[in-house]
Amino acid sequence: MSGVADVSSTPATKRVDTRGCAGSGADARVPLPRERNRLSLDPRRQVRIVVGRGHSTAGRTAEAYGGRTVLRTFSWRHRNGSPNSIAAVHFNAGNPAEYLVADRIIDGAHPTVSSLARELRNEDLNDVAFSAAAFEYARDKVAHSWDAQDRRVTVSASDTLREHVGLCYCKAHLLTALLRAEGVPAGLCYQRLTDDGESFYVHGLVAVFLEGSWHRLDPRGNKPGVDAQFSLEVERLAWPMRPEMGEVDYPDLFIWPHPAVVAALTQATDMLALCANGLPSTL
């Protein structure tokens, strides 16, 4: 599958994204030095996530795995604690082995990124424990630009690690690069969110392949009213979907950051200005 879709986006012009986003792009693509977990899934398949009510296990994910079907459960609640309505999300994903490579933005081969990945792995952690440690680092140790009111522009994983600040896209780039550097397949996915039902912005997430399934993670950073967690059983994102307000889970799992996200970040000179009038509003 193609790493990125050939699509354009329109910048948001009405409201500041107080929830947070930010992304990057793709260039020279090189394999990482360590690529464990080479898997033999079908090159393309559709992953269907059915969102259950509350924290129940009503929903499940079905995917083709080595010619057989693997089922896995996902569910979540609205930010206000009310039960989520039943909804289905379809993800188009490639072979997990395709989600192990590096480029100029997901630069897991950069010395500082690969060194941190080895440190977090600590040699004896299994993939799940390492992935949780990498997620918590990206979520907690890197400030969200809007929350910190920090104007510095970061794009790549190494930029974000060096400055310890970035929008949701940048934090997703760092987490993806850390996971790939230690042989854990990880991809980028996106949501279209709104504060008022009229203006929209794109939010960046990460999906990690663990225990035979893709699991979405949100390293945006927690704050009052936001409690994103690492979980392989019940999905814990910063902002679950409100389809009745026009919010969307985009269906593609990208190897590389989406071009609209890359353009927004690379053209920015001020992250706060980007949040105010420049985030992609759609993919």
Q: Which two tokens stand for residue 47?
A: 């992953």
30-37+97-277, CATH topology level = C8orf32 fold (3.10.620)
Beta bridge partners of 93: 45
Torsion of CA 4, 5, 6, 10, to 10 degrees: -100
Q: Residues 144, 174: contact at Cβ < 8 Å?
A: no
In sequence order, what are the residues at sequence separation of 6 or more whose Cβ sits closer than 8 angstroms to the Cβ of residue 92? 1, 44, 46, 47, 251, 252, 253
- Distance between CA atoms of 139 and 186, rounded to whole angstroms? 16
Q: Residues 120, 130: contact at Cβ < 8 Å?
A: yes
Q: What secondary structure does DSSP assign to 69-93, as a single string? A: EEEE--B-B-TTSPBPPPEEEEEEE
DSSP state of 252: B
Sequence ranges of the domains in the chain: 30-37+97-277
Q: Which two tokens stand for residue 271?
A: 């992250």
Q: Is 113 strand, coil or helix? A: helix
Q: Tally helices (H) and strands (E) across the chain.
A: 7, 12
How crowded is residue 225: how many other Cβ atoms within 10 Å of its Cβ? Answer: 10
What pLDDT score does 225 carry?
Answer: 87
- Distance between CA atoms of 197 and 269, rounded to whole angstroms? 28
Residue type, 107: D
Q: How many residues does the chain have?
A: 283
CA-wise closest residue to 119 among 82, 161, 86? 161
DSSP state of 45: E
Q: What is the mean pLDDT of each run of 10 residues along the chain (283 residues)?
A: 38 41 37 38 35 26 30 32 39 92 97 97 90 97 96 98 98 99 98 91 96 94 91 89 92 96 97 94 93
What pLDDT score does 3 carry?
Answer: 52
Q: Which two tokens stand for residue 268?
A: 């920015």
Q: Residues 279, 18: contact at Cβ < 8 Å?
A: no
- Distance between CA atoms of 4 and 22, rounded to whole angstroms? 16
Q: Which two tokens stand for residue 234?
A: 């019940």
Q: Residues 128, 215: contact at Cβ < 8 Å?
A: no
Angle between helices 168-181 and 127-140 (to 10 degrees): 150
Neighbouring C-alpha atoms within 13 Å toward the C-beta of 117: 27
What pLDDT score does 200 carry?
Answer: 95
